[in-house]
Amino acid sequence: MRERGQRVFISPVSGSGGPVGHDYRAAVTGIGPGWGQSSCGPNEGIVSEQRCRQRDAGRDEDDGTSGIGGKRGGAPHLGAYALGHACIPRARGATQEPRVGSAQQNDVHSLRYHTNRSLVFLPSHPFSSLKRGALMLASPRRPLLVQLVVTRRCNLSCGYCSEYDEVSSPVDVTLLERRIDHAARLGTLVLTLTGGEPLLHPELDRLIARASSQGVVCTMISNGYPLTREWIRRLNAAKLSLLQMSVDNMEPNEFSQKSWSQIRKKLDLLKEHATFGVNINAVLGSSNLEQTRQVVASVRALGFYMTVGLMHDDKGQILPGLLRDNLAATYEELRRTSNKTIFHRTGEGWEQDMLQDGSSRFKCRAGGRYLYVDEFGKVNYCSQRRGEPGIDLLDYTGDDVERGFHTPKGCEAGCTIGCVRRASAFDGWRAQQGA
C-alpha cells in the first residue's frame, strides 16, 4: 500500500506502456536513456517519488550562486535526484525540494549528480524538441545538427587541432542571435556552440538561452579550462542540454593539452553542480596505451558519459599518434567499455572498417543534415571542408539544405568526422540523388 503523497511509476522495462522511465529527449537527440531503457537501475521496475533535501540547499536558497536546485529569479531549476539506482526526476517549476530518507543521508553527493547511466536530462521544451525531431526526420529540407562557431580564439594550442587561433575576438552577440534564430527557422533540432573555445565568449549563456527558448536542443563543445562554478550556474540557468569535453591524456604533450591532471578539478565542479548532461571524449593517439586506459577508467569512475574518438589531420584522415600499431586494438577495447548516449551510438561501425582497410563509405549529408557555420557566418560542409558551399547562413534556405542532403562530397570513404557521420546515419536508407 502506498504511503500518502507518493506516486508510483512503472518503468518501460517492467512491461508497461509508459512514459516515466522513457526519456523523450533521448528519442530525438540520444541524450539520456532511450525507449526500452529504464532511467532506473536494471532491476528497478517501480520508482517511488520521494522528497529529497540537498546538502547545501540553504546556501543555494540564500545566495543563488550554485544554480542547482535553488531558485534564481524565483524559478526553480530542472533537477533529478537518484536514490540508489532509481532516478527521481523533479519537473521544471516544482515548488517542493526532495527529501532524503535516513538510509541515504551518508550519500548525499549522489543526489547532486548521479551517474549519467541513471539521470534523465530533458531539454527545456521537450515536446517542442520532440516535434522538431519528427519534422526533421520526415523531410530532407531540415538540418539535424548545426555547429556554430562563436569565437575562433582558443586558450590552448593542441597539436592535432586546426580549428582555432589565438587572436580572434568573440563574434558579436546580436549577429550570433540572428544566426541562431535563422537556424531555428530552418527546423534545426540540435545546435552546438563551438570554437575555438566557446567559454571565451562572455555572453555564451545568452546564446544558449536564445536557442533553448525556441525548442532547439542546445549543446556545446569545450576544453573545460575556463569553467568555474559561476559559469556552470549560468549554463544551468540558460538550459544547456549537454556539454562535451575532451580528456585525451594524463599529462599535456605535443598532441593535446586537454589532460586529466589539468582538468580533474573542473570535472569535480561539473559533477557537483551541473544539471546538464556531460560527455567526455578521449581522442585516441594523444597518449600511449596505458595512459589511455587510465584516462578512460578515471572518467568512468566519475560517472560521466564517455566516448573515444579517432585523431585526424586537417583533411579529416586518421592519425595514429602515440598508439601507432596499437590504434585498432585499443579502439576496439575501449569502445566496448564506453558509456555512450544513444546519439553517439548512431552510425557506429565505420571506425572498425576504417581501421581495418582505410575506408568506410557512407552517404554524406553535410550541407543538409549537418551544417558547420564558421565565425563569418558561412555554411561549410564540415570543419575540414571550409568554403563549400560557402553560403551565408542568413541566406541559407530549405532548398540549400535539400541540395546539400543529395550532394556527394567525394571524400566520404576516408572521412573521420564523427558528427557528420552520425548526423548522416539517420538517412542511410534514403537515396542520394546526386550520386
Torsion angle of C-alpha atoms 258, 259, 264, 267, degrees rounded to 10: 30
Judge if pTM exceeds 0.75: no
Grid cell listed for 376: 563569418
- Cβ contacts of 101 within 8 Å, gap of 6 or more: 50, 83
pLDDT value for 257: 81
Do β-strands 217-222 and 242-246 pair in parallel, antiparallel, or remain unpaired?
parallel
pLDDT value for 373: 98
Grid cell listed for 295: 584516462
Helices (H) and strands (E) in the chain, counts: 14, 15
Where do the H-state alpha helices sit in 103-228?
109-112, 126-138, 173-185, 204-212
Query: What domains are defined for the chain?
Result: 8-112 (no CATH), 126-425 (3.20.20.70)
* Partners of residue 339 on adjacent β-strands: 306
Q: Could you give the CA distance from residue 354 to residue 258 in angstroms, rounded to a whole number?
A: 25
Yes or no: say if 31 and 126 are a contact pair by the CB < 8 Å rule.
no
- Mean pLDDT, consecutive 10-residue stretches, the chain (435 aa), reads 35 32 37 32 32 37 36 33 30 36 34 39 81 95 98 85 87 98 98 96 98 96 95 97 88 84 92 92 80 85 82 69 77 76 72 83 97 98 93 98 97 90 94 85
Q: Could you give the CA distance from residue 70 to residue 59 in angstroms, rounded to a whole number?
A: 9
Q: Could you give the angle at the alpha carbon of 365 between the alpha carbons of 363 and 369, nearest 5°?
A: 145
pLDDT value for 159: 73
Q: Say how many C-beta atoms besides its own lie within 10 A of residue 27's C-beta.
A: 18
- Peptide bond connecting 408 to the previous residue in cis, omega within 30 degrees of 0: no
Grid cell listed for 185: 527557422
- Shortest CA distance to 400 belongs to which of 428, 365, 362? 365
pLDDT value for 349: 77
pLDDT value for 205: 98
Which stretches of 2-126 are assigned E, i.e. beta strand? 8-10, 46-48, 71-72, 75-76, 79-83, 86-90
